[in-house]
Amino acid sequence: MPSHQARHARDGRRGPRRRELLVGLAAGLVSLLRPRGVRGQARAEVRTATPPPRYWIHVVMTGGLDAVWTTDPKTLADVKAGVDVPYRPDQILTAGDLRLGPLFEPLLPVANRLTIVNGVLVRTANHYTGIEQCARLRTMTTMRTPAAFDIIGAHRDSQALASVTLNASLRQAHTAGFFGTSAEGDFGGGASVLAEIDSLDAEARHELARVLGDRARALQRLGSPTPARAVAIDNMQQVAAFLARTAELPAFELTPWLEGPFKGQDDVGGFVSDLQRAVWLIEHDLAATLTVFAGNFFWDSHYRNSISQSAITPVFAAALERFFHALSSRSNRHGALDSQTGVILTTELGRMPYLNAFNGKDHFPQSPVIVAAPGLVAGRQFGGTGKEMEALPISTRTGRVVTSGERLVLDDLGHTVLRRAGIDPARYGFPGRELAFLAKDAL
């Protein structure tokens, strides 16, 4: 292990409070050293007790995770007759306050970092709308609606790219700030943008960075820009910065990640490489936000639900455990990655509580979300579902089921993430409510 990584691993063992203090000090120093203009641009709009995460990573389990197998385990006594509960009560796992379904067992080592919110409405039962919404962390969208991550990315500090998307399989993931890859062969047999850039040597990248920088400056000098030109200038600057930075870096290299019973399954679902790439991108300060579409719709279990979900979910959970381990063991000049990174896990739609004619489960317009971010509570479980797994009304203050409450919507998650990023969602017309129960200082 390189010395700086070993040091941070040791810091990690000293406990989060001390590490956060050190990171806070480091961040303060960096902020003082930063040129005045940059500090002004990165100014947060909302004051928060804990500094906003520098990076955000959103992982979407594509196809539709089955909550009963993972985030919302039930016993037969909890549900109506016919609702599928495909395991014994003693197979339900507990980790502190968390109750996990058997397929999330590999997540147990990191469960204390996670907060689960069950019963979030996504207002759709089709993948296309679901992906368009998940990409934006809100509902009622069009292809023009900026993603929550586009907004956060616009407030980036010195990261090259505002927002990176990995493994986007549907065009609905596209926004005016799009930069990213697609699953192999999804939109053609050739290379992705990252492979295209990797094909250039350092000199060519620097050359292109200069050319793009020149053009962006020329456009800037035209004076008061139209909003479209302002977006174009920012997009050119992002690419120029990315080319220049990566010219100085060794190429990203995939390493075997999974261990124990999952050893050798790094290729399953394709997410191991994307999660590693995501860590690499933030480790090198190349992106402020990332969205990883995991699994190429492997979770879409219309046929043989238990077999399909069991084939993908534990491997994914094992990869996720490695991902959290990577965040806590790596750092960059801004500090340890886990103290600067907000992680969100969603799935674009959920699965029906009942089995269909093929022992599969069709789509359900509600899904769980998982968050792990500095400043948010960890190791807790919120939300609630009824006897047919249907979302129940909850209090946005406590996160507990109350008859006077309202059901949560994906927009509430996006809204809360923006707040945690130090941005006032209302200034962007971003819908939703703040989920106060997720804030660490709320408890």
Partner 1 sequence: MSRWRVARGARAARAAIVAVLVLATGCGKSPAVTVAPAPASPALDRSKLDHTSLLLRGRLVDDAEWQRWTARPSPLEEIVDEILADPFLARDIAPALIFRNNLLRAARTLGMDGYQLVSSDIGGEPVFHLGQGCKSEDTAPIKPWWDPAHPVKACKQVVRETVWHVTLPGGTVQTCNVKLSTPKRLPETPCGCGPNLVRCLPPDYVPTLIAQAAEELRATTAYVASTDQPLARLFTMNETWRQRDMELFYLRELVNSQEIADPAPLFEAAMSWPADGKLAPRADAAPGQHAGILTAPQIMYHVFDLRQRMRIIYEAMWCSGESAPGARPEDILRLRTPTLSTLNEGWRELASRPICTTCHARLDYGMQFFGGYRAPEGIAYHYVPSATGERGPLYAADIDDPRGTAELTPRGFAEIATGQPEFARCMARDVAEYVFGARTSPATIERLARSEKPTELRLRALMRLAILEFLHCDDCRSPGGELAASSSTPSPAAAPRLTHLLGNHCTDCHNAEASIANFERPLDPTTRLRVMDQAVFGRMPPGEALPPAARQAFVADVLGAEPIGSVRQSPTTLILGYADPPAALPLMGVRQYLRGLASGHAGLNDLNTLEMALAGRDNVLTPNHIALTAVEASRSCQGVEPARRADCIQAALNGIWGSVEAIRRAP
Residue linked to tokens 């100014």: 43
Stretches 50-58, 106-114, 185-193, 331-339: which one binds partner 1 (CB under 8 A)? 185-193
Tokens of 117: 């919110």
Q: How far is the CB of 426 from partner 1 (least distance, A)?
A: 6
What are the C-alpha distances in Å from 32 to residues 38, 121, 133, 219?
Answer: 11, 43, 38, 30
- Residue from 21, 29, 76, 211 touching partner 1 (CB under 8 A): that is 211
196 DSSP assignment: H
**What residue type is 109 in one-letter code?**
P
Q: Which element (helix H / strand E) includes 309?
A: helix 305-329
- Residue from 78, 390, 406, 434 touching partner 1 (CB under 8 A): that is 390
CA distance linking residue 55 with residue 47, whole number of Å? 17
**Residue 363 touching partner 1 (CB under 8 A):** yes
Are the C-beta atoms of 115 and 372 separated by less than 8 Å?
Answer: yes
432 CB neighbour count, 10 Å cutoff: 23
237 or 339: CB nearest partner 1: 237
Stretches 227-235, 260-268, 320-328, 394-402: which one binds partner 1 (CB under 8 A)? 227-235
# of chain residues touching partner 1 (CB under 8 A): 114
**Residue 226 touching partner 1 (CB under 8 A):** yes
x/- string (CB under 8 A) for partner 1, residues 232-261? xxxxx-xx--xx------------------
x/- string (CB under 8 A) for partner 1, residues 144-183? xxx---xx--xxx----xx-----x-xxxxxxxxxxxxxx
**Residue 403 touching partner 1 (CB under 8 A):** no
Stretches 6-14, 68-76, 94-102, 133-141: which one binds partner 1 (CB under 8 A)? 133-141
CA distance linking residue 147 with residue 143, whole number of Å? 10
Q: Which element (helix H / strand E) includes 115?
A: strand 115-121
Instruction: Measure the CA angle with vertex 118, ends 113 and 123; round to 5°.
Output: 130
Alpha-carbon torsion (332, 336, 341, 344), positive or negative: positive
Q: How far is the CB of 437 from partner 1 (least distance, A)?
A: 20
> Which of the residues 14 through 73 are near partner 1 (CB under 8 A)?
41-42
- Residue from 309, 366, 381, 416 touching partner 1 (CB under 8 A): that is 366
φ, ψ (nearest 5 deg) of residue 382: -130, 175
**Residue 430 touching partner 1 (CB under 8 A):** yes
Q: How far is the CB of 313 from partner 1 (least distance, A)?
A: 20
Q: How far is the CB of 308 from partner 1 (least distance, A)?
A: 12
Q: Tell me the Cα Rg of the chain.
A: 21
